[in-house]
Amino acid sequence: MALLEIGDGAPDFRTVDQDGEPVKLSDLRGKKVVLYFYPKDDTPGCTKEACSFRDAWSAFRKRKIEVLGVSAQDEKSHRKFAEKFSFLFRDTATTEKKIVQAYGVWGEKSLYGRKFMGTNRVTYLIDEKGKIAAVWPKVKPEDHARDVLAAAG
């Protein structure tokens, strides 16, 4: 499945965060939402990216922008990752892969010559009406939150 494009409606979803609390995208309508997809909890690139959102957390809060991390691990893995690095944003579970498939970020990857299926590092900015406002198909993990903040205005 292809990535969503600017102007597309953001597919609604229902899941849980690292604390087992329900998360439903349509409940966030009226706010900008950063939906950032990453491959795996507590790996080098994913940790850099998540820490960039952690470090910019107050700027996102001031602008009333919700930040949701999404990967295919379960809530227990997300909780351990969030506690280890003191994340304040919500990290959501998609163990059945419905969300990553709906957003076109599930696909073939290659590591050390081995091919496998996994979550690609992609970020969407969703506007207050539930439409895709920006897409980052290629992400530099350590600077990413700053780039998203600049685009969110």
Q: Please state, in angstroms and rounded to a whole number, the distance separating the CA atoms of residues 130 and 144.
A: 22
Element (H, E) at 92: strand 90-93
Known active-site residue 46: yes
Element (H, E) at 133: strand 132-136
Q: Which of 25, 35, 46, 68 is catalytic?
A: 46
Checking if the pLDDT of 75 tops 80, the result is yes
Q: Please state, in angstroms and rounded to a whole number, the distance separating the CA atoms of residues 45 and 102.
A: 23
Q: 81-132: per-residue pLDDT in tens? A: 999 999 999 999 887 889 999 999 999 888 889 999 999 999 999 999 999 9
Residues 6+ apart with CB under 8 A from 76: none
Q: Please state, in angstroms and rounded to a whole number, the distance separating the CA atoms of residues 147 and 136.
A: 9
pLDDT value, residue 67: 96
pTM for the model: 0.93
- Out of 37-41, 140-144, 145-149, which region has the weakest mean confidence (pLDDT)? 140-144
